[in-house]
Amino acid sequence: MTLVNTGAWYTMNTIFLQLAFNGLVSGLLLALLAAGFNLIFNTTRVFHIAHGSFYVGGAYAFYAILQLFSNQSLFFVLLSAFAALLIVMLFASMIEALIYQPLARKKSGQAITLISSMGVYLFMINGIALLFGNETKILELPLGGSIFLANVAIAPIQLVQLAVSLIFLGGVLFISKTKWFLGVRAMMSNESVASVLGVNTTMIRLLAISIGSALAAIAAILTLYDTGVDPQAGMAITLSSAVAVIIGGSLSLRGTILASVVIALLQTATAWFLSSQWKEGMTFVLLILVFFWRTEGIVSYKMRVEEQ
Amino acid sequence: MNYLLHILVMAEIYIILGLAMNLLAGYSGLLSVSQAAFYGIGAYAAALLLVNTGYSFPIVLVGAIVINMIACIPVIAFSIRFRDLFFVLATLAWQVIIFTVLYNWVSVTNGPYGISGIPKPVIFGYQFESLPQFALLAGALCALVLLFFYGLHNSPLSRYFQGVRDDQLTMLSFGKKPGYYKAIAISISSGVSAIAGTLFACYYSYIDPTSFTMDESILIISIVLIGGLGTLRGSVAGALFYVLLPEVLRFVNVPDAFASNLRMMIYALILILMVMFRPYGFFGNYRFE
C-alpha cells in the first residue's frame, strides 16, 4: 500500500478513504481464499492448513508456465493461469484421494486430519522451495500508472483484483444457490445421512477441494502481480482465511466474505497506524475476542439443541 | 567430535521439548500448537535475565521457569473454555501473537535483530565454556527432566491427566475438576519448555524470534506424534529421529542447498504416513481420534 504524493495535500478524510479502498480490495482477495477454505472445511471437515501451500503452488505454477512463453500478452497470461489452475486442481484431488479420503473412511477425527494437513503443508512448501528457491516472485503489470478518483490513488492491478475477485465471488455465491449445492448443504449438516440418501459425497468432496484450491490459486496469481508471493507466505494467508471462516460463522459463505473484508480492513489499518508486522497478531487478537464472546461467529444459523 | 557433541546437545534440547509436549498431547489430550511460544518465552526470559541482570545460571533458570509458568495462564484459560478444534485454534492464535510480540517489542526483545552476547552458564564458579562441558550440563538437565517425568508417569497425578484426556465427564462425576488438572499439566509443560529455551539461548549465545515460529510448533508436535503419544520413550525416540534424520541424508551426499528442504519433505512424508498407517507412532499408547 503506497500513497503517491502528487502535490495534493491529504486530509485525514482522504487517508481513510484510501485505507478503506485498499482494505476492500485485499478483503475481496482474502474472501476468495476464505470462500475456498469454507467450501473445503464444510464438506471434508478437514481444517485445511495446506490451503496456503496450494496458494503458493498456484502462484509458482503460473510463474513457471508464463516464463515458458516469450510473449506475455493477455492470451498467454490467461492460458498460463488456466494451466496453473488445472495443475492446482489436479494436486488437490490427489491429496484428497490419497490422504483425506482414506482418513475419512477410517472415521478419523479433526485432530488427526489437521495433523495430516500440517504434513501436506510442510511437504508442499518445502517441495516448492526446493524446486524454485526461497526468493519472492513478483510480476509487473504492463499497464499505466495510478488513477486518481476523489484523491484516492487506484493502481491498475487493484482494479483487476477487484473485478476478478468480484466475478469469482459472484460465481461462488451463484453456485451456492444452485440445486447441486443442496447436496453440499446436506453433506455439511450430516455426511452419513446424506450419503445414505444418495448424495455422491465422494464426488462432492473432490469437487469442493479442487474448486476451493483453484480459488486460492486465483487469489495467488492476482497477488503475484501486486506484492509478490514467496513460499513462506502460505501460512499467514491460510491462517487469515481460517480466521475469516471461523469469525464469519463457519456455515455461512456470506458471513465468510463479510468477515474477510473486516479482517482486511483491520489489517490495512494496523499496517498504516502501527506497522505491517502487527497485522497477523491483530487478526488473532480479533479471533480470540470472537471466541470468547461470540463463539458461533458473526453470521450464524439457529441450530437445533441436539446439534450444538 | 565437536560435530557429534553438537548433535547431542540438539537431541537433548528436543528431548526436553518433546517430553513437555507429550505431557499435553499424550497424557492430557490437549493438542496445543503454542509449544514454540513457551519455548520462545523461556529462551527470551533467560537471555534477558542473563544479559541484563548478571544473575548466575541456576537463578536464571528458575526465573525463566517461573516467568513461563505465569506466561502460560492464557493457554490455561483456553484449555478450560474451549475443546477440540477451538482449543487448537486458540493456541495457534496465542503462538502467532507471542511471535508478533517478540518480533515487534523492540525496546525489550530487540525485535528482529535478536539478543546477542548471551553468556555461557556458570554454576557455583564452574564455567561450562567448551562444548563437551555444555553437552554434559544439557545432558544432566535432560536426565533430570526425564527423571521428573518418570516420577510423574508413575504418580497418581498422571492418572488424573489421563482422565482429563479420556473422559472429562467421568472425572467430574468423581469430584475431580478437569480444569484444575489441565492447569497443572500446562504449567508443568510450559515450565519444562523454559529449561529447553534457556539451554538453547546459552548454547547459541544469540536468539532471534524466527526460531520460535509456528513451524517450530508443528515440528514439536510431529516429534511427539512420530515417536508416540503417552510414553516417555516415545518422545525420546521422536526427538532422536528428528535430530538424526539429516545425518542419514548426509551419507547419501545430498547437496547442502537442498538438504534442509529435502529433510523437511521426508519428515513431512513420514508424518503423513505415520498418521495414516501407524497412528500410535513408534512407541505410543494413545492416539488422537
Query: Which helix (DSSP H) or strand (DSSP E) does residue A71 occupy?
Result: none
Has residue A278 been placed in a domain? no
DSSP state of B110: -
Average pLDDT over residues A64-77: 84
Residues from chain A that touch B208, judged by Cβ atoms under 8 A, are none
CA-closest candidate to residue B131, choices B243, B247, B4, B15: B4
How close A119 gets to chain B, by Cα (Å)?
Answer: 5
Instruction: Select the more confidently predicted residue: A226 or B47.
Output: B47
d(CA B181, CA B165): 10
pLDDT over 60 (residue B77): yes
Per the prediction, chain A carries an average pLDDT of: 84
B145 neighbors B162 (Cβ within 8 angstroms): no
Q: A164 to each of A66, A219, A226, B270, how far by Cα in Å?
A: 19, 9, 14, 39
Measure B133 CA to nearest chain A CA, in Å.
Answer: 35
Does position B178 have pLDDT exceeding 60, yes or no?
Answer: yes
- Residue B185, CA distances (Å) to A165, A209, B23 in order: 46, 37, 7
Residue with the three cell numbers 516469450: A70
Per the CB < 8 A criterion, the answer to whether A247 and A297 are in contact is: yes
**Interface probe with A: pick from B80, B88, B100, B216, most Cβ of A within 10 Å:** B100
pLDDT band at B262 (very low <50, low <70, confident <90, very high): confident
Q: Say if A134 falls within a structural domain.
A: yes
Distance from C-alpha of A219 to C-alpha of A244, rounded to nearest angstrom:
15
For residue A103, list chain B residues with Cβ-Cβ distance below 8 A. 275-276
Residue A199 lies in domain: 26-242
Residues of chain B with pLDDT > 90, as a percent, come to: 48
Establish if A4 belongs to a structural domain.
no
Given a contact cutoff of 8 angstroms between Cβ atoms, the answer to whether B63 and B51 are in contact is: no
Q: Is residue A74 in some structural domain?
A: yes
Q: Is residue A7 part of a domain?
A: no
ipTM value of the model?
A: 0.86
Helical (H) or strand (E) element with A139 = none
Residues in chain B: 289
Interface test with B, best of A44, A122, A293 (most B CBs within 10 A): A122
Going by their DSSP bridges, the two strands A152-154 and B115-116 should be labelled as: unpaired
Average pLDDT over residues B53-77: 92
- Measured in angstroms, the CA of B272 and the nearest CA of chain A are apart by 5
Collapse the DSSP code of B53 into the 3-class scheme (helix H, G, I; strand E, B; otherwise coil) and give the result: coil
Least confident of A6-20, A143-157, B191-205: A6-20
Q: How confident is the model at residue A198 (pLDDT cuts 50, 70, 90)?
A: confident
Chain A residues within 8 angstroms (CB to CB) of chain B: 47, 99, 102-103, 108-112, 114-116, 118-123, 126-127, 129-130, 235, 239, 242, 246, 275, 277-278, 280-281, 283-285, 287-288, 291-292, 295
**In this predicted model, what pLDDT tens digit does every residue of A79-130 receive, in sequence order?**
999 999 999 999 999 999 999 999 988 888 888 888 899 899 989 999 998 8
Look-up: residue for cell 487469515? A240
Domains in chain A, number: 1
pLDDT the model gives residue B40: 95
What distance in Å separates the CA atoms of residue A170 and residue A299, rounded to the nearest whole number? Answer: 19
**pLDDT higher than threshold 50 for residue A73:** yes
List CB contacts (< 8 A) between A283 and chain B: 96
Query: Is 90 exceeded by the pLDDT of residue A142?
Result: no
Residues A269-306 as b/e (b if ≥16 CB within 10 A, e otherwise) read bbbbeeeeebbbbbbbbbbbebbeeeeebbbeeeeeee
Note whether B262 contacts A126, CB cutoff 8 Å.
Answer: yes
Which residue of A45, A105, A115 is the best one to mutate when testing the B interface, meaning the one whose CB has the most B CBs within 10 A? A115
Looking at the DSSP bridge assignments, the partners of residue A137 are: A229
Contacts of A292 in chain B (CB under 8 A): 81
Q: What beta strand segments (E) does chain A contain? A: 147-149, 152-154
A72 assigned to some structural domain: yes
Which residue of chain A has the CA closest to B258? A130
At residue B222, the 3 state secondary structure works out as helix
Count other C-beta atoms under 10 Å from residue A207's C-beta: 18
Q: What is the pLDDT of residues A1-20, one digit of tens each?
A: 445 554 445 567 778 888 88
Question: Cα separation of B89 and B72, whole Å?
Answer: 16
The alpha-carbon gap from A223 to the nearest alpha carbon of chain B, in Å, equals 23
Contacts of A252 (CB under 8 A, 6+ apart): A297, A299, A300, A301
Eight-class DSSP state of A229: B
Q: Which chain B residues are closer than 8 Å to A117 by Cβ?
A: none
Q: Is residue A274 part of a domain?
A: no
Task: List the grid coordinates of B158.
Answer: 498422571
User: What is the predicted pLDDT for the residue at B220?
Assistant: 92
> Is A210 a residue whose pLDDT tops 50?
yes
Contact between A53 and B272 under an 8 Å Cβ cutoff? The reply is no
CB pairs under 8 A between A and B: 117
Q: Which residues of chain B approach chain A closer than 8 Å at the C-beta? A: 31, 81-82, 84-86, 88-90, 92-94, 96-97, 99-101, 103-104, 214-215, 218, 221-222, 225, 258, 261-262, 264-265, 267-269, 271-272, 275-276, 279, 287-289
B118/B50 Cα distance (integer angstroms): 7
Domain ranges of chain B: 2-212
Backbone angles phi, psi at B122, to 5 degrees: -125, 120
Asked whether residue A186 is assigned to any structural domain, the reply reads yes
User: Mean pLDDT, chain B, as a whole number?
Assistant: 89
CA angle, corner A192, sides to A186 and A198, nearest 5? Answer: 65
Give the nearest partner residue to B264 out of A109, A126, A278, using CB atoms: A126
